[in-house]
C-alpha cells in the first residue's frame, strides 16, 4: 500500500509543490552566489585559488579575441600559440590549457569582448547572456516563481563557473523556436546564429522543412551567411582554413580520446566510450541516436503543439551531438520551460512533472555521478525531456489530450517552473 501511494505521488507529481520549488531554487541560488563569490574573493588577479583562470573556458574566448585584435586571428586555432598567449594573459606558466574549437563566427563575439580587460569582459559576457536567457524563459513561461526557478537552476552555477556560452545558445534556441510560428523571419535569424555552435543545430534543417517554415529557413540562411561573410571580410580565408585544419586533432583528442574527461561529456558517444566501446562502434551508436532523435523531432514538428515541438527539437539537438558537456545542458532548461508552459495550459501526463523536475536538478550532481558510477545521468535527463515531448506526438494526443490522467487534465496550481541554463568544461592538457 505504501509503495502504491509513493508510486502514485511520483506519477501525479503531487509532491512537487510551489513551496518546494521555491525552497530548492532559493538554496541553489544562494549556493551559486556563494561559490562564484568565493572564487572571485580568493583569486589572484585572473587566476582562482585552484590555479585555474576565473571563468575557466572563458580563457580561450578572451585570448582568441585578443589574438584577433592583434592581427593573429588564424593562430587562435593553433593550440601551442594560444596556450602561450593564455599563460601571458594570466601571468602563470602552469595555467591549464582551454582550447578554442569554435567556427570563425564566434570570433566576432570574442574580439568584441577582448576590447575589455579580462575580468570586466568575463562579467559583461556572463551577465548579458544570462539576462538574455532569463528574458527568454520569462517569455516562454510567464508567471510567479519563474525567475527564481530559472536563475536558481543548478545549471546556472555550472555555466557561470566555466564562463561559458550556454546562456547565449539557450537564448538563441529558445527565442528562435518561441517566435517560429508568429515571427518566422526573426526566428530564423536567431536560429541561424547557432552557426557559431553548429552541432546544436543538427535537427533544425529537417524540422524547419517538415514544418513548412520557409521564411524561417530564409532568415536562418541569411543570418548564418552574414556572420560567415563578416569573418571573411575582417580576417580573410585563413581563419576558415585554420578552423578546418584543427578539426581532425579536436576530433581525435577531445572527442574520441575524451581528453576533457568522460564524466564531463553528456553524449551517447561519451557514455559508450566510457563503458569500453571502441571508437568505431561508439560512432555507430552515436549516429543511430542522432538519426532517431532527428526523426523524433520531425514527428513532433508535424504532430505536436508548438511548445511540445520546441522541447523535442532542443532535446534532439542535444542528443545528436557527440560532444556535449554538462554546461551545454543550459538549453535543456528551455526545453523544460516549454513543457512546463504547455503542461500548465493543457495538463501533465503521468510522471511528466517528476521527470522534468529531475532533469532540472541533474546538473548539480551529474558530473560526479558519472565519475563515480559511470551512469550518464546528464544524458538520461535529455532522454527524459525528449520522451516527455514525444509522448504527446500521437495522432490525436496533441488535439484531444487522449491518455491524459484525470489529475493531469487540470492545469496544475503548483507547476514546476524551470530555468534556462548549463555550463561546460573545456579541454585541459593537464
Phi, psi of 229 (to 5 degrees): -65, -40
Supply the pLDDT for residue 261: 87
0.85 exceeded by pTM:
yes
Please count the structural domains in the chain.
1
Q: What is the pLDDT of residue 243?
A: 97
> In this predicted model, what pLDDT tens digit does every residue of 370-391 receive, in sequence order?
989 999 999 999 999 999 999 8
Angstrom distance (rounded) from CA 430 to CA 425? 13
Is 95 inside a domain boundary?
no
Q: Is residue 302 part of a domain?
A: yes
Would you say 384 and 399 are in contact if contact means Cβ atoms under 8 Å apart?
Answer: no
**CB of 97 within 8 A of CB of 428?**
yes
| C-beta separation of 16 from 354 below 8 A | yes
Angstrom CA distances, 224 to 105, 109, 297, stand at 9, 14, 22
Reported as a single tens digit per residue, the pLDDT across 415-430 is: 444 443 333 333 333 3
In a domain, 80, yes or no: no
Q: Which three cell numbers stand for residue 325?
A: 558537456
Which domain does 247 fall in, by range? Answer: 8-45+144-409
In a domain, 399, yes or no: yes
Is the distance from CB of 97 to CB of 79 less than 8 angstroms? yes
Res 5: pLDDT: 53
The pLDDT score that the predictor gives to residue 9 is 81
Tens of pLDDT along 103-152?
999 999 999 999 999 999 999 999 999 999 999 999 999 987 899 999 99
- C-alpha to C-alpha distance for 21 and 387, rounded to whole angstroms: 22
User: If we measure between CA atoms, which residue out of 218, 233, 208 comes closest to residue 104?
Assistant: 233
Amino acid at each position: 500500500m505504501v509503495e502504491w501511494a509513493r508510486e502514485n505521488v511520483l506519477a501525479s507529481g503531487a509532491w512537487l509543490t510551489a513551496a518546494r520549488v521555491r525552497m530548492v531554487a532559493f538554496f541553489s541560488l544562494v549556493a551559486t552566489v556563494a561559490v562564484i563569490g568565493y572564487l572571485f574573493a580568493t583569486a589572484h588577479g585572473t587566476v582562482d585559488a585552484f590555479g585555474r583562470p576565473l571563468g575557466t573556458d572563458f580563457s580561450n574566448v578572451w585570448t582568441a579575441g585578443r589574438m584577433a585584435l592583434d592581427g593573429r586571428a588564424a593562430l587562435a586555432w593553433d593550440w601551442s600559440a594560444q596556450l602561450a598567449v593564455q599563460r601571458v594573459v594570466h601571468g602563470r606558466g602552469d595555467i591549464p590549457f582551454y582550447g578554442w574549437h569554435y567556427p570563425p563566427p564566434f570570433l566576432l563575439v570574442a574580439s568584441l569582448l577582448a576590447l575589455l580587460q579580462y575580468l570586466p569582459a568575463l562579467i559583461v559576457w556572463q551577465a548579458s547572456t544570462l539576462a538574455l536567457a532569463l528574458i527568454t524563459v520569462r517569455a516562454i513561461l510567464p508567471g510567479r516563481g519563474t525567475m527564481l526557478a530559472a536563475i536558481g537552476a543548478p545549471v546556472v552555477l555550472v555555466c557561470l563557473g566555466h564562463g561559458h556560452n550556454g546562456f547565449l545558445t539557450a537564448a538563441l534556441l529558445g527565442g528562435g523556436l518561441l517566435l517560429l510560428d508568429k515571427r518566422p523571419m526573426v526566428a530564423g535569424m536567431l536560429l541561424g546564429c547557432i552557426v557559431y555552435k553548429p552541432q546544436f543545430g543538427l535537427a533544425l534543417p529537417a524540422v524547419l522543412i517538415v514544418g513548412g517554415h520557409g521564411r524561417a529557413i530564409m532568415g536562418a540562411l541569411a543570418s548564418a551567411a552574414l556572420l560567415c561573410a563578416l569573418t571573411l571580410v575582417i580576417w580573410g580565408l585563413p581563419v576558415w582554413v585554420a578552423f578546418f585544419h584543427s578539426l581532425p586533432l579536436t576530433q581525435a583528442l577531445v572527442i574520441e580520446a575524451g581528453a576533457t574527461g568522460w564524466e564531463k561529456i553528456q553524449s551517447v558517444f561519451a557514455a559508450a566510450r566510457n563503458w569500453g566501446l571502441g571508437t568505431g562502434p561508439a560512432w555507430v551508436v552515436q549516429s543511430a541516436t542522432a538519426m532517431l532523435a532527428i526523426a523524433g523531432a520531425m514527428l513532433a514538428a508535424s504532430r505536436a503543439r508548438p511548445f511540445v515541438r520546441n522541447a523535442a527539437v532542443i532535446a534532439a539537438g542535444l542528443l545528436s551531438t557527440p560532444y556535449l558537456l554538462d554546461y551545454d545542458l543550459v538549453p535543456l532548461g528551455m526545453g523544460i520551460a516549454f513543457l512546463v508552459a504547455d503542461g500548465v495550459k493543457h495538463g501533465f501526463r503521468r510522471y511528466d512533472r517528476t521527470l522534468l523536475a529531475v532533469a532540472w536538478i541533474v546538473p548539480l550532481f551529474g558530473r560526479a555521478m558519472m565519475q563515480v558510477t559511470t551512469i550518464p545521468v546528464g544524458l538520461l535527463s535529455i532522454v527524459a525531456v525528449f520522451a516527455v515531448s514525444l509522448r504527446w506526438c500521437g495522432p490525436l494526443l496533441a488535439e484531444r489530450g487522449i491518455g491524459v490522467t484525470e489529475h493531469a487534465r487540470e492545469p496544475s496550481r503548483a507547476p514546476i517552473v524551470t530555468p534556462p541554463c548549463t555550463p561546460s568544461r573545456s579541454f585541459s592538457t593537464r
